[in-house]
């Protein structure tokens, strides 16, 4: 009689999905609080990037793209922890370039330093929440 090895990829896949969904919810709620905080500190409440219909999809995209990158590094790098220790902060800083360009050019109406600082803080929130979820 032959034996069959049974793996649990479905269970692992479900667990990952639940973690990613939880990260998306947590990051979205925290980003909502950041947006409200930026408005309370003086950002114009009509600055669209600080509204949920704009930042929630970007939060979800950030978590999904980060996960894809994270998995690629974990699968391919000989020393993934060392690579991620450098790559995550570099990608975080690079992700803020559009915010800095926005601050410099004001191409979105009602742009201010406080509004852009809020957006930049949102990048940090998504990164922190996502990395915590990816490591579980």
The pLDDT tens digits of the residues spanning 40-66 come to 999 999 999 999 999 999 999 999 999
Give the mean model confidence (pLDDT) for residues 110-128: 98
* CA atoms in the 13 A half-sphere facing the CB of 22: 11
| Percent of the chain residues topping a pLDDT of 70 | 91
When pLDDT is cut at 50, 70 and 90, the band that residue 136 belongs to is confident
Give the mean model confidence (pLDDT) for residues 61-77: 97
CA dihedral 42, 48, 51, 56 (to 10 degrees): -130
Alpha helices in the chain (DSSP H): 9-40, 52-76, 80-95, 97-105, 113-135
Closest by Cα among 128, 136, 3, 2 to 66: 128
Average pLDDT, the chain: 94
Cα–Cα distance measured from residue 70 to residue 135, given in angstroms and rounded to the nearest whole number: 10
């Amino acid at each position: 009689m032959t034996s069959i090895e049974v793996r649990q990829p479905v269970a692992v896949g479900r667990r990952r999905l639940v973690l990613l969904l939880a990260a998306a919810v947590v990051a979205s709620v925290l980003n909502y609080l950041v947006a409200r905080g930026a408005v309370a500190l003086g950002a114009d409440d009509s600055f669209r990037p600080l509204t949920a219909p704009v930042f929630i999809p970007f939060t979800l995209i950030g978590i999904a793209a980060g996960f894809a990158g994270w998995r690629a590094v974990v699968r391919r790098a000989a020393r993934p922890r060392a690579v991620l220790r450098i790559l995550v902060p570099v990608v975080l800083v690079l992700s803020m370039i559009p915010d800095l360009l926005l601050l410099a050019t004001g191409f979105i109406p009602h742009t201010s330093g406080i509004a852009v600082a809020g957006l930049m803080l949102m990048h940090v929130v998504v990164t922190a929440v996502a990395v915590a979820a990816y490591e579980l």
